[in-house]
Structure 1
Amino acid sequence: MNKQIYNILLADDDEDDCSFFEEALDELSLATTLVTVNDGVQLMDFLADKSGNDLPDILFLDLNMPRKNGSECLTEIRQIEKLKDFPIVIFSTSLDSEIVDVMYDKDATYYIRKPGDFSKLKSVIENALITASENNFKKPARAHFIIQP
């Protein structure tokens, strides 16, 4: 199932990371739209205002944000009935195996370590969108949880 347009939500407090993410999307051959929120409180407010049909296709969620971190948001999101199956890609600088395991157990859909290299960033975002789409935006087995560039 390849979508025509991917409607993406990015929750990240780092302005540079948000800019690089947007630039990477602009250079992909995939059609995308992007909405950005800068902390967990903004994220939860944004999602609360959306109905089921109005939700983005996928959320890229940074773990280290002010006011409410990504882990807290993930827990809250999974407790909301309309968001139980909402595709969430953890997008973090950390690749600590304990954190990855916790995110998997909390029902994140995929996990990506933010690459420092722009071409790898483009590649990993594209891989995440295509992989998620091909998998009908469902959580994979643990062995396929981490998406590499």
Structure 2
Amino acid sequence: MNEQKFNLLLADDDEDDCDFFKEALDELHLPISLVTVNDGVQLMDFLFECSAKNLPDVLFLDLNMPRKNGFECLTEIKKIDKLQHLPVIVFSTSLDMNIVDLMYEKGAVYYIRKPGDFSKLKKVIGNALSVTAENNYKQPAREHFILQP
């Protein structure tokens, strides 16, 4: 995995969560570039401005964001030709199984409940990048959809 450079996009309105995410990536010592956006409107604007060749490798998407939430963004992403194959990992504080099932049906690749512990955060992000690459950025069977630290 170290040979591949990951271009990641994080859509999250919580500044602390963004900082912890960045710190976790730094400690993983992987070749990664990270862009963050703070709400769903910024996310969709960023994705529209990207050419098909410059799309992020993986989008980590928070569900509860202002102006346009993660559910609305995922629905929109999956309807746009150039974005349909963008791997989306839902990254949320909630673990409501109805929401998890809906995110799976809408085409998210994985679902992660944000851990409160930094070492678990680091572990689950590293695991998410590994399994996403190993599965060629495709959605797994439903029983493997939720990633645990």
TM range (shorter): over 0.9
Structure 1 stretch displaced more, 113-122 or 29-38: 29-38
**2:40 — aligned with what?**
40
* Structure 2: distance between partners of 1:106 and 1:19: 28
* Structure 2: distance between partners of 1:132 and 1:140: 9
Q: Rate the CA distance shift 1:41–1:4 in 2: closer, same or farther, 3 A.
A: same
Match of 2:33, SS state, is strand
> What TM-score, normalized by structure 2, do the two folds share?
0.98
Q: Is the 8 A contact 1:2 1:133 kept in 2?
A: no
Count of matched residue pairs? 149
Q: Is the 8 A contact 1:2 1:134 kept in 2?
A: no
Stretches (4+) displaced over 2 A: none
TM-superposed CA distance for 1:2, in Å, is: 6.5
Q: Is the 8 A contact 2:2 2:31 kept in 1?
A: no
* Structure 1: distance between partners of 2:3 and 2:61: 21
**1:59 — aligned with what?**
59
Match of 2:146, SS state, is coil
Q: Rate the CA distance shift 1:2–1:29 in 2: closer, same or farther, 3 A.
A: closer
* Structure 2: distance between partners of 1:139 and 1:51: 23
* Structure 2: distance between partners of 1:25 and 1:112: 16
**1:147 — aligned with what?**
147
* Structure 1: distance between partners of 2:6 and 2:127: 13
**2:86 — aligned with what?**
86
Gaps (5+ residues) in structure 1?
none
TM-superposed CA distance for 1:97, in Å, is: 0.5
* Structure 2: distance between partners of 1:68 and 1:110: 20
Superposition RMSD in Å: 1.0
Identity of paired residues, percent?
71
Q: Is the 8 A contact 2:109 2:145 kept in 1?
A: yes
